[in-house]
Structure 1
Amino acid sequence: MNLRLALPVTLVASSLVLAACSTDADEATSDSSAAAATDTSLTDVQDAGVIVVGTEGTYRPFTFHADGSGDLTGYDVEVARAVADQLGVEVQFEETQWDALLTGLEAGRFDAVFNQVGITPEREGTYTFSTPYTYSNGVLVTTADNTDIASFDDLEGRTLAQSLTSAFGQQAKDAGANIEAVEGWAQSVELLQQGRVEATINDKLTWLDYVTTHGENGLKVAAETDDFSRSAVALAGGDQALADAISDALATLSENGTLAEISGEFFGDDVSVEPAA
């Protein structure tokens, strides 16, 4: 009797499916291993002894040239230097305009970009990211003597200084506020201090930078948003080995207090940790 032919049809079909799944799994594992084997992003940097970092150099307080000395500095710049030190390599900064930073990654001009690159689903589809090293939420800023605005629920009918194209401007509109259009933070502060508007919603990093430079100057934060943005080191798509090494370096810098120290220098607060819920 031919036992192979006598096997139930369902059992034969199941066996074929299992075999196909096994083959697919083997192929997927092989593809994954091949991709990992061809990712030389970390060893390339290690062999060169230098990591080439793209940054603007004109984006205070993240990446700019210090008054007087002209030296390149800023939160992102100093984080990049600390990361390079952890990797055991030198850092070489290449300055260019924002629009050219991410395309420079794709063209191989940089190994990484340290320039407050926000993590978005669209960017994650093209680039590889480290773990975040900057978190920021929105803040509702008003004058220190204003007792009428204590939360976002108090904005209906109030006049706020906002950029018409910003998400914060839309948030103010959704809350029922009247909008006085401005070009940016500096104009918002001016209108607040002149009493021409009652508040403004802006990024917390902008507020912290202002306080570090000018003090609170008659202003205060009345409320903060629950949602927040994340910025990380951007690398070319597929450069996972280097991204992982940078993430490990950032973890070490967080644990030993270096990130908090750098953050405190430029913001007076630790922006490298996720905001408390």
Structure 2
Amino acid sequence: MRGFFKGNKSRFYTQVTAAVLLTGVLTACGSSSEDGDGTSASVWDQIQEEGKIVAATSGTLYPTSYHAEDSDELTGFEVEVLREIANRLELEIEFSEMGIDNILTAVNNGRVDIAANDIDITEERQEKFTFSEPYKHSYGSAIVRTDDLSGIETLDDLEGKKAGGAATTVYMQIGIDHGAEEVIYDNVTNDTYLRDVENGRLDVVLNDYYLQSLAVEALPDIDVTVHPTLAYFPNSQAILMKKDETELAEHINATIEEMLEDGTITDLSQQFFGGADVSSEPDVEIQE
């Protein structure tokens, strides 16, 4: 990966070892099929045969995966990255919209081929899934009330605060590790979170800095703000695939590298992140 974050990255990776809780027996229903000679075809072979790749995403996470205003069109930074990858691999792409908990399960049991939804690369997830090369780098921030920053200056101040999010995200686990009371939401849009911080149902929403900055900017009528000094958990995001799908990963990685080198990902980043280039690691002071 390019560059270095300021601060201790390894500590935060060890804090999120319980971030992905996949319970029950996950069956591989459709992850492979048998060729005429009785051997199992790889996911990549099946994708090529069908001429289509199926991708899971939420459709509710602005600006990485969302529906354009007054339109059913799915768009966003990662949606367009996936579309371009499929185009360069000469494949059609089909999106399946679902919440993050279902996304992880759908990849694991073969209902979808890949997933992208600002999914953080963590050691725990790398044990269960295959990740592409990263194309986005960021760090954690917090949406809080404007008047008093919800009484939060450092991560230690999360003790007893009500933190909203999906059950199995890295950010929810960070909140829990620092004593926050979790308030679980399903696949809801940003305005729901922000209004609940404003009205006191929540104290804080922990999430990606770039996503939070644009969400607050897009909803100026809601009296919340991105915390001005809280920066933690340097992270990178990538495409998620089923464990050991090395052939599929090789084709996707080669395409991502090409798109990084020719500036396509930078152009898409600047389009969706207000001019920011999220393909480069930000230079910020990280709280330890």
**TM above 0.5, one fold?**
yes
Cα 1:116–1:138 change in 2 (3 A) is closer
1:251 aligns with one of 250, 257, 273? 257
Alignment root-mean-square deviation, CA:
4.1
Change (3 A) 1:234 1:39: farther
Name the aligned partner's letter for residue 54 of structure 1. Answer: A
| Distance change (3 Å), C-alpha of 1:140 and 1:258 | same
Tell me the amino acid that sits aligned with residue 122 of structure 2.
T
Conservation of the 8 A alpha-carbon contact between 1:142 and 1:220? yes
Query: Residues 53 and 167 from structure 1, CA distance in 2 versus in 1: closer, same or farther, beyond 3 angstroms?
Result: closer
Moved more, 63-72 or 182-191: 182-191
Given that 1:53 and 1:93 are in contact with CA atoms closer than 8 Å, whether structure 2 keeps it comes out as yes
Q: Which has the higher contact order (CA 8 A, sep 6+)?
A: 2
Tell me if structure 2 keeps the 8 A contact 1:160–1:172. Answer: no
Q: Deviations over 1:176-228 (max 9, x none)?
A: xxx9x998851476379xxxxxx967430333222541469895653252531
Aligned residue runs from structure 1 range 24-63, under 5 A: 40-63=42-65
Match of 1:210 among 212, 215, 222: 215
Q: Among residues 247, 251, 258, which one is paired with 1:241 in the alignment?
A: 247
Task: Give matches, 1:122-271, under 5 Å.
Answer: 122-139=124-141, 152=154, 162-163=163-164, 166=172, 169=175, 185-187=193-195, 190=198, 202-203=206-207, 204-214=209-219, 222-225=228-231, 227-268=233-274, 269-271=276-278
| Mapped partners of 1:257, 1:62: distance in 2 | 18
CA contact (8 A) 1:135 1:275 kept: yes
**Residue 238 of structure 1: how far off its partner (Å):** 1.6
Residue identity in the other structure for 2:215: Y
Aligned mates of 1:169, 1:54 — CA distance in 2: 26
What are the residue-to-residue correspondences of 1:79-158 with 2, within 5 Å?
Answer: 79-139=81-141, 152=154
Identity of aligned residues (%): 28
Q: 1:210 to 1:96 in 2, by over 3 A?
A: closer
Q: What CA distance in whole angstroms lies between the structure 2 residues aligned with 1:109 and 1:202?
A: 29
Post-superposition shift, 1:84?
0.9
More strand by share: 1
Paired residue secondary structure (2:134): strand
SS at match of 1:116: coil
Are 1:140 and 1:223, in contact at CA under 8 Å, matched by a contact in 2?
no
SS in 2 for 1:138: strand
Contact kept in structure 1, 2:164 and 2:205, CA below 8 Å: no
Q: TM-score, normalised by structure 1?
A: 0.63
Instruction: Indicate the larger mover: 109-118 or 165-174.
Output: 165-174
- SS of the aligned residue for 1:76 comes to helix
Unaligned runs of 5+ in 1: 1-36, 193-198
Amino acid in structure 2 at the alignment position of 1:275? P
- The number of residues matched between the two structures is 231
- The structure-2 alpha-carbon separation of the partners of 1:106 and 1:185, relative to structure 1 and needing over 3 Å to count, comes to closer
Task: Give the number of the structure whose residues are more often helix, by fraction.
Answer: 1
1:161 and 1:188 in contact (8 A); partners too:
no
Contact 2:216-2:225 within 8 A present in 1 as well: no
Is the contact made by 1:141 and 1:222 (CA closer than 8 Å) also made in structure 2?
A: no
Pair 1:208–1:255, CA change in 2 (3 A) = farther
Would you say the 8 A contact 2:197–2:224 is kept in 1? no
Superposition deviation, residue 71 in structure 1: 0.8
- 2:282: which partner in 1? 275
- Counterpart Cα distance in 1 of 2:68 and 2:142: 30
Could you list the runs of 5+ residues in structure 2 that have no partner in the other structure?
1-38, 186-191
> Quick check: 2:141–2:232 contact (8 Å CA) kept in 1?
no
Equivalent AA in structure 1 for residue 238 of structure 2:
A
CA contact (8 A) 1:162 1:168 kept: no
1:4 aligned residue:
none
Q: Rg larger in 1 or in 2? A: 1
